[in-house]
Amino acid sequence: DAKTTQPPSMDCAEGRAANLPCNHSTISGNEYVYWYRQIHSQGPQYIIHGLKNNETNEMASLIITEDRKSSTLILPHATLRDTAVYYCIVRASNDYKLSFGAGTTVTVRA
């Protein structure tokens, strides 16, 4: 019951910015956009989340469009260790669970 659409895969050059798109056209006003990533066989790692405004932390930036129907996760300087499956998740404030879709497999190449 994932509410997001992500490209299945993308490549990125090491040292360049990686821009990961996510469509969530049915997002409601009380739903946040969360990003997690999962490096092979490890637990998902929280990256960032936002509601309306753009957000930035030490890992990434999250750009949410004004109509909130899509967002972009930006990894400013991708490294080989950023190779992972990235999940975009829409979650209401009273949601007790995370609903994961298939995510985007990002491969960072040297």
Partner 1 sequence: KAGVTQTPRYLIKTRGQQVTLSCSPISGHRSVSWYQQTPGQGLQFLFEYFSETQRNKGNFPGRFSGRQFSNSRSEMNVSTLELGDSALYLCASSRQDGLQETQYFGPGTRLLVL
Which residue in 63, 72, 98, 107 binds partner 1 (CB under 8 A)?
A: 98
Token output for 53: 């405004």
94 binds partner 1 per the rule CB under 8 A: yes
Torsion angle, alpha carbons of 1, 85, 34, 25, to 10: -50
CB of 70 vs partner 1, minimal distance in Å = 20
DSSP 57: -
Phi, psi of 102 (to 5 degrees): -80, -20
For residue 66, how many other CB atoms are within 10 A of its CB? 6
Closest distance to partner 1 from the beta carbon of 32 (Å): 6
Segment near partner 1 (CB under 8 A), from 13-21, 58-66, 68-76, 89-97? Answer: 89-97
> Is the Cβ of residue 63 or residue 98 nearer to partner 1 in the bound state?
98
**Is residue 59 within 8 Å of residue 70, measured between CB atoms?**
no
Interface residue with partner 1 among 32, 61, 72, 105 (CB under 8 A) is 32
Question: Footprint of partner 1 on this chain (CB under 8 A)?
Answer: 32, 34, 36, 41-46, 49, 91, 93-94, 96-102
